[in-house]
Structure 1
């Protein structure tokens, strides 16, 4: 994972088969990603790490 364009792993199943859905999430510092393996959508701090999924635990 490079600092300029981080590609996260899914926080639910740890898969690397993820695709960015939106460059910006609920804030400018987050992006939204979709996991092809478990079909979860999650947010990722672009220079940080994953956030808890929205809508519950």
Structure 2
């Protein structure tokens, strides 16, 4: 889960932001799995405004 302050207003905004942040989340996932030897089961973005979670 990564917390974001971007303000999405439409579904298309979330799709654009999801594409924008996908590489960042992939790096987080890879780092976590290498450091902990635990498998990451999913990736999510939490947008503070308007309180929305987007799952990958």
Same fold (TM over 0.5): no
> Shorter-chain TM-score: what band?
under 0.3
Give the number of the structure whose residues are more often helix, by fraction.
Answer: 2
Larger radius of gyration: 2
Query: Which fold has the larger relative contact order, with Cα–Cα distance below 8 Å and residues 6 or more apart in sequence?
Result: 2
> TM-score scaled by structure 2?
0.25
